[in-house]
Amino acid sequence: MTKRIFHPDTHIILDEAAKRVSPWSRRNFLRNALGLGTLTMLSGCDVVDGVSAESMLSNMSDFNDRVQAWLFNPQRLAREYPESAITRPFPFNSFYVPNTPDKAPDINLDEWALNVSGSVEKTDDWKFADLQRLPQFTQITRHICIEGWSAIGKFTGIRFSDFLKAVGADMSAKYVTFRCDDRYVTSIDMASALHPQTQLTLGFDGGALPREHGFPLKLRIPTKLGFKNPKHIGEIEIGNDYTGGYWETYGYNWFSGL
């Protein structure tokens, strides 16, 4: 019998993939696996149709987000790896269709600027050269996609907490929202924003950040699933208003943390 050798992070990947399913899978689950009476028994809600079933699942998802946030340890570090573990080529993935690198925005760096808004003292735009002047660090961490695959990459950039200090952000605010030049939107909690490995990424694998991986600026947050790592960031907003995100509107868990 052939002995299977599993990757040391297999349990992490499987655990995270099992916690989250796409909205289409959720609906199939409702239609094929459970009757409305069973859902009523499990949830304590009066589930009588598809609308109330979706409402029940939404409430369960919100509860899951709150529990994950409560369990989140802001000092627990994601595992880091040696150079020999880097995945090359690093997979490309996007929210747009067709899911191909040539559809990634082609941004002119001379015309690009990062906008900062909300509860901050300094709302001046940041040019790429301004960001390069801030202290930088490199991490080799695993990117875990909600679709079930993972890859290890080398990311260089600014500790996000340093950037928040530089703009005079209100650290007591609840949310940080990212709006991107490919029209993607997502948001994270302030505790995750201040995590020491959360990074505004400027470089990748020892060179410039490639177009398909988020040029000129992406968020690298190894304590969350991949869809919480926005690419081509154009605006960062700090505030107390929940803004959700693109995939979150389709039922993906908002916190999505490890």
Task: Give the model's pLDDT for residue 48.
Answer: 47
Contact between residue 194 and residue 164 where contact means Cβ atoms under 8 Å apart = yes
> What is the rounded average pLDDT for all residues in the chain?
82
Rg (CA), the chain: 19
pLDDT for 29: 42
Of 13 and 203, the structure prediction assigns the larger pLDDT to 203
Give 54-98 pLDDT, tens digit per residue.
444 444 445 454 544 444 567 789 999 999 999 999 999 999 999
Domains contained in the chain, CATH given = 10-71 (no CATH), 83-250 (3.90.420.10)
In Å, how far are 37, 47, 86, 110, 112 from 83, measured between CA atoms?
Answer: 53, 52, 6, 32, 32
Contacts 24+ apart (CB under 8 A), 131-135: 131/158, 131/163, 131/200, 131/202, 131/217, 132/202, 134/158, 134/162, 134/163, 134/166, 135/159, 135/162
Distance between CA atoms of 130 and 257, rounded to whole angstroms? 30
Q: Report, as an integer, the average pLDDT of 35-64.
A: 45
Q: What is the pLDDT of residue 123?
A: 97
Structure tokens at 66: 């709150």
Q: What percent of the chain has pLDDT over 90?
A: 66
Percent residues over pLDDT 70 in the chain = 71
pLDDT at 3 over 70: no
Of 116, 79, 92, 81, which Cα lies nearest the Cα of 215? Answer: 92
The pTM assigned to this predicted structure is 0.76
Question: How many CA within 13 A on the CB side of residue 42?
Answer: 12
Of residues 58 and 107, more confidently modeled? 107
Predicted confidence (pLDDT) per residue in 116-158, tens digit: 999 999 999 999 999 999 999 999 999 999 899 999 999 999 9
Q: 248 pLDDT exceeds 80?
A: yes
Element (H, E) at 67: helix 50-71
Q: Would you say residue 4 has pLDDT above 60?
A: no
Average pLDDT of the segment spanning 94-112: 95
pLDDT tens digit string along 168-206? 999 999 999 999 999 999 999 999 999 999 999 999 999
> Nearest CA to 256 among 230, 231, 236?
230
pLDDT at residue 9 in the model: 53
The token duo for 91 is 């997979």
DSSP symbol at 49: S
Q: Which of 158, 150, 156, 154 is nearest to 140 (CA)?
A: 154
Q: For residue 5, is pLDDT > 60?
A: no
Q: Which amino acid is at 66?
A: R
Q: How far apart, in whole angstroms, are the C-alpha atoms of residue 18 and residue 55? A: 21
- Which residue stretches of the chain are H helix? 10-19, 23-32, 36-43, 50-71, 128-132, 160-166, 190-193
